[in-house]
Amino acid sequence: MNVATPHLFVVEDDRAMRVMICDYLSEQGMKTTPLASAEELLRRVHTLRPDLILLDVGLPGSSGLDACRQLRVEGDRIPIILLTARIEEYDRVLGLEMGADDYIGKPFSPRELLARIRAVLRRAVTVPGTATALRADVQLGTLTFQPGARRLVYEGGREHLLTTVEFALLAELVSNPNVPLSRERLMTVVHGRASALLPRTIDVAVMRLRKHVETDPAKPRYVQSIRNFGYMFVP
Ligand code: CA
């Protein structure tokens, strides 16, 4: 994450509101990408990788809640703040259960929005496992994990840039060789907290990670399953 100039997606269908938020955040030194729908968000989030998503709940087509849930089910823990016009407790609780990091009710003051954004960004850089504690390269057979550059380098030089989730998971696993790590612990590393609602999201995230680090993802050598518990890195 570029802490000096964080990049935010602003997903809001109300044009005036979208422009107002983007203008204000730009004045505060942030980079913004305005988007008008959940579909547009899901199309672009994997390539542009913003530091945070401001996500309106009431959108045409898929709702902000649907988009939030989908990202979390995919194992993506990119920070999300929901913008909600409805102030019902139901929406707030549901939003947080869907994996949002925070929510803010409309109408809100620009200063309040900025304070929430800064708080969530601060938390995001201090999530365990995404810290820079791990520095040295780690060899996985012919594959090199370079934590500093957040990438995998394959024999022959092909590279894979790890997503935030892949990096957090792999860093936590290789930092604890031969130690079984529970799903709950990995959830906390990846999502910032354990979620009782979606305990299996970690399995999906591990499946994705294995495609990048295992020669045969069906017969994992490095990231092994510990039945009814979690996963273990075997160097
Ligand atoms: Ca709206």
What's the pLDDT score for residue 90?
59
Segment 219-228 shows an average pLDDT of 94
Domain boundaries defined on the chain: 7-125, 138-233
CA of 211 to the centre of ligand 1 (A): 37
CA 75–ligand 1 middle distance (angstroms): 26
Which residues neighbour 213 within 8 Å (Cβ) at sequence distance 6 or greater? Answer: 140, 143, 145, 152, 170, 222, 223
Pairing of strands 80-84, 138-140: unpaired
Q: How far is the CA of 85 from the centre of ligand 1 (A)?
A: 8
59 CA → ligand 1 middle, Å? 5
Q: How many A from CA of 56 to the centre of ligand 1?
A: 6
Q: Rounded mean pLDDT of 33-62?
A: 94
164 alpha carbon – ligand 1 mean position (Å):
28
SS3 57: coil
Cα(36) to ligand 1 centroid in Å equals 9
7-125: CATH class = alpha beta
- Read off the pLDDT of residues 170-217 as tens digits, 9 standing for 90 and up: 988 998 889 898 888 888 777 665 555 566 778 888 998 999 999 999
The CA 12 to ligand 1 mean position distance, Å, reads 6
| Top-confidence residue, 227 or 2 | 227
Q: DSSP letters along 119-158, please?
A: HHHHHHHTSTTSSTT--S-EEETTEEEEGGGTEEE-TTS-
Ligand 1 centre distance from Cα of residue 58 (Å): 4
Q: What is the pLDDT of residue 69?
A: 86
Predicted local distance difference test score (pLDDT) of residue 1: 53
pLDDT of 146 over the 70 cut: yes
φ, ψ for residue 121, nearest 5 deg: -65, -40
Give pLDDT tens digits for 93-143.
Answer: 666 667 788 888 888 999 999 998 998 887 776 544 443 356 688 999 999
Element of type H or E holding 184 = helix 183-191
Task: Provide the mean pLDDT of the chain.
Answer: 85
Residue 3's pLDDT is 57
State in words which class domain 138-233 has.
mainly alpha
Q: What's residue 132's pLDDT?
A: 39
Across 52-81, b (16+ Cβ under 10 Å) vs e yields bbbbbbbbeeeebbebbbbbbebbbbbbbb
